[in-house]
């Protein structure tokens, strides 16, 4: 079993670092669809990256963009909800024992639908304001902080099935999974 390299960038424009991860999500989803690939390794790598990336965004990126008035409460809250929905669909995929079943294909399709939606919406409504309303210096500082937190979470191992289940339960407790918004 070979671990998939998720990269450990240490600096860069936060917008570019986030986009690099979004491309990794897309590549990993493509691998998860490939019947000849190690789909289980891709599924586990996706889980680690999704948890680390989303938490680093929630802890550092969204709050900073709000303080800079690039995004509002609605964008931040909606981002949290979509991360929670992604984690819920991810958990359903992680809970399946096999990767060569109809249940796996269905769970992956659901996950891909939510993730593709979130990546699109985040790039349109959060990264565009960051590009247009936040200066290079702040984007670089935020990039370094985002990368450090993301890498720390990856190095800890943050995306096991049990950890994702706990995150989903917490999100449900916070009402993030209550309604369609």
Residues from 50 through 69 that contact Fe ion (CB under 5 A): 57
Choose between 6 and 96: whose C-beta lies nearer to Fe ion.
6
Which span (36-44, 49-57, 61-69, 107-115) binds Fe ion, by CB under 5 A? Answer: 49-57
Choose between 76 and 122: whose C-beta lies nearer to Fe ion.
122
What is the smallest separation between the CB atom of 36 and Fe ion, expressed in angstroms? 29
Choose between 48 and 57: whose C-beta lies nearer to Fe ion.
57
**CA angle, 176 as apex, 118 and 61 as ends, to 5°?**
55
Binding mask 100-139 for Fe ion (x = CB under 5 A): ----------------------x-----------------
Residue identified by tokens 């981002």 is 79
Binding mask 8-37 for Fe ion (x = CB under 5 A): ----------x-------------------
The two structure tokens encoding residue 163: 């950890």
Choose between 18 and 168: whose C-beta lies nearer to Fe ion.
18
Q: How would you label 35-68 residue by residue, b for 16+ Cβ within 10 Å and e otherwise? A: eeebbbbbbbbbbbbbbbbbbbbeebbbebbeeb
8 A C-beta contact, residue 15 and residue 131: yes
The two structure tokens encoding residue 167: 């995150």
8 A C-beta contact, residue 165 and residue 91: yes
Choose between 43 and 78: whose C-beta lies nearer to Fe ion.
78
What is the smallest separation between the CB atom of 63 and Fe ion, expressed in angstroms? 13
CA 23 to chain centre: 11
What is the binding site for Fe ion (CB under 5 A)? 18, 57, 122
């Amino acid at each position: 079993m070979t671990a998939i390299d998720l990269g450990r960038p240490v600096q860069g424009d936060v917008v570019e670092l986030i986009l690099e991860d979004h491309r990794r999500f897309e590549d990993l989803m493509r691998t998860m669809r490939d019947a000849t690939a190690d789909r289980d390794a891709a599924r586990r790598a996706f889980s680690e990256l999704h948890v680390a990336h989303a938490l680093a965004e929630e802890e550092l990126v969204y709050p900073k963009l709000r303080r800079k008035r690039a995004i509002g409460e609605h964008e931040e809250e909606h981002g949290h909800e979509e991360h929670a929905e992604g984690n819920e669909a991810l958990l359903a995929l992680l809970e399946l024992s096999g990767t060569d079943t109809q249940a796996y294909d269905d769970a992956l399709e659901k996950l891909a639908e939510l993730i593709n939606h979130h990546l699109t919406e985040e790039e349109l409504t959060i990264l565009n304001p960051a590009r247009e309303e936040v200066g290079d210096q702040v984007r670089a500082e935020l990039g370094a902080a985002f990368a450090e937190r993301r890498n720390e979470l990856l190095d800890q191992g943050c995306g096991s099935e049990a950890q994702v289940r706990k995150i989903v339960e917490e999100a449900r407790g916070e009402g993030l999974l209550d309604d369609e918004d």
